[in-house]
């Protein structure tokens, strides 16, 4: 059974040249945390969280990546919060698996 979580988005996200109505995310690993720290200091929490999203998002609609920080730069903080909440939920569910 997959530990991935599929979450519908409140409004479509244009990523990879397409509109995505849902995202699929996976639980994080320590490998992800270390990689995100290398890309953005853990003392810069917003940059770190974007890097974690780049690693944990499996797909957005039909787009399977790679996901990069620039995909998130035009989002409002509230919009990114929706994605961050999905990542946190996947982590919680992954702990229970």
pLDDT digits (tens, 9 = 90+) for 37-89: 999 876 788 999 999 999 999 999 999 999 999 999 999 999 999 999 999 99
Sign of CA dihedral 89, 68, 75, 52: positive
Determine the pLDDT at residue 40: 87
Predicted TM-score of the model (pTM): 0.90
Q: How far apart are CA 97 and CA 39, in angstroms?
A: 29
Q: How far apart are CA 23 and CA 19, in angstroms?
A: 11
Q: Mark 66-76 as b/e (b = at least 16 C-beta within 10 Å).
A: ebeeebbeeee
Q: To which residue do tokens 């790679």 refer?
A: 66
């Amino acid at each position: 059974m997959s530990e991935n979580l599929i979450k519908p988005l409140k409004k479509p996200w244009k990523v990879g040249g397409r509109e995505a109505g849902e995202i699929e995310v996976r639980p994080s690993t320590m490998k992800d945390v270390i990689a995100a720290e290398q890309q953005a200091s853990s003392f810069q929490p917003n940059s770190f969280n974007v890097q974690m999203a780049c690693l944990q998002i499996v797909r957005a609609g039909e787009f399977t990546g790679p996901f990069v920080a620039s995909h998130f730069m035009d989002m409002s903080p509230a919009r990114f919060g929706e994605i961050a909440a999905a990542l946190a939920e996947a982590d919680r569910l992954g702990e229970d698996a």
